[in-house]
Amino acid sequence: MSSSGLGGLNKSPNGIVIGLVQLQNPDVSTPAELAAQTGKIVDMVAKARRGNPAMDLVVFPEYALHGLSMRTDDAIMCTLDGPEVAAFKAACIEHAIWGCFSIMELNPQGNPYNTGLIIDDTGEIRLYYRKLHPWVPVEPWEPGNLGVPVCVGPKGAMLSLIICHDGMFPEMAREAAYKGAEVILRTAGYTAPIRHAWKITNQSNAFQNLAQTASVCLCGSDGTFDSMGEGMFCDFDGTVMVEGSHRPDEIIACEMRPDLVREARVHWGVENNIYQFGHRGYVAVKGGAQDCPYTFMQDMVRGEYRLPWEREVRVTDGTSCGFPAPERRYKG
pLDDT confidence bin for 8, thresholds 50/70/90? confident
**Whether the model pTM is above 0.95:** yes
pLDDT, residue 192, reads: 86
pLDDT, residue 1, reads: 44
Stronger pLDDT, 163 or 245, i.e. the higher one: 163
C-alpha 186/C-alpha 22 separation (Å) is 13
Percent pLDDT > 90 in the chain is 94
pLDDT confidence bin for 9, thresholds 50/70/90? confident
pLDDT confidence bin for 7, thresholds 50/70/90? confident
Q: In what helix (H) or strand (E) does residue 250 lie, and over which residues does it extend?
A: strand 250-256
C-alpha 160/C-alpha 182 separation (Å) is 8
Structural domain for 87, as ranges: 5-276
CA triple 145-149-153, angle to 5 deg: 150
Answer yes or no: is 15 within a domain. Answer: yes
Number of domains in the chain: 1
pLDDT confidence bin for 145, thresholds 50/70/90? very high
Answer yes or no: is 140 within a domain. Answer: yes
Cβ–Cβ under 8 Å, residues 126 and 154: no
The mean predicted confidence, pLDDT, of the chain is 96
Answer yes or no: is 325 within a domain. Answer: no
Answer yes or no: is 307 within a domain. Answer: no
Answer yes or no: is 173 within a domain. Answer: yes
Q: Compute φ and ψ for 18, nearest 5 degrees.
A: -115, 135
Lowest mean pLDDT across 6-20, 103-117, 127-141: 6-20
Q: Residues with catalytic annotation? A: 62, 131, 164
74-130 per-position pLDDT tens digit: 999 999 999 999 999 999 999 999 999 999 999 999 999 999 999 999 999 999 999
Answer yes or no: is 211 within a domain. Answer: yes
pLDDT, residue 130, reads: 98
Cβ–Cβ under 8 Å, residues 145 and 167: no
The predicted model gives 183-190 an average pLDDT of 98
Return the CATH number at 71. Answer: 3.60.110.10
C-alpha 238/C-alpha 201 separation (Å) is 10
Answer yes or no: is 76 within a domain. Answer: yes
Answer yes or no: is 322 within a domain. Answer: no
